[in-house]
Amino acid sequence: MKIQYQIKTALLVSVMFFYSSLSFAKTEDFKLAVADFQQALNSVEEGKTAKTKLKEEFKVKQKNIDKRKKELASLQKQVEEFHTKAASGLLKPAAMDKGHKLEQKFQKKLQKYTAMVKSFQDEISKKEMKATQGILDRLRNLVVDLGRKEGYSMVLEKNESGLLYAASYTDLTEKLIQEYNKKYKSKKK
């Protein structure tokens, strides 16, 4: 986190220095644009398709997790009932052994459940990263092309740039989405 903050700060200082050095040039020569990559990622057809595919996979895995969670809740209730009876001191040694085995069974299932949930979260994160990385790379390339073609001095990512105010700028997000869908229409999955 600290490194990301330092990088963003250095980038912002560089942008400010660059902008201040442009004050010597004609201000009408400087064209600033922004693009919202998150919005673009969620709006391009390939991104929507990837998101839908991930949601379907998530639903299947979530059903399995919910089933295991119900089993755990039932087992936990049995363990709690055992503890209540054990606290009364009225259980025979055989019942105490059965209760301890039930506790051990619960602990093992809880560990397996926790590992399964973590594995699921990691898997979904990796798949999301894999699905979006290519799209983001292509979006970046399109931004460079749009920036050059339309004569922008600078194009910043709207949410990550640290830019809080600019007297005038153009938001390229919608144009970026249209260009992406046009150029990569055949790449839908």
Residue 32 sits at φ, ψ, to 5 deg, of: -110, 140
Compute the distance between CA of residue 61 and CA of residue 5 in angstroms, rounded to an integer: 35
Cβ neighbors of 48 (< 8 A, separation 6 or more) are 42
The predicted structure's pLDDT at residue 9: 53
The predicted structure's pLDDT at residue 43: 93
Compute the distance between CA of residue 53 and CA of residue 66 in angstroms, rounded to an integer: 20
Tell me the pLDDT band of 3, cut-offs 50, 70 and 90. low
The predicted structure's pLDDT at residue 13: 47
pTM of full prediction above 0.75: no
Per residue in 53-74, pLDDT tens? 999 999 999 999 999 999 999 9
Tell me the pLDDT band of 4, cut-offs 50, 70 and 90. low
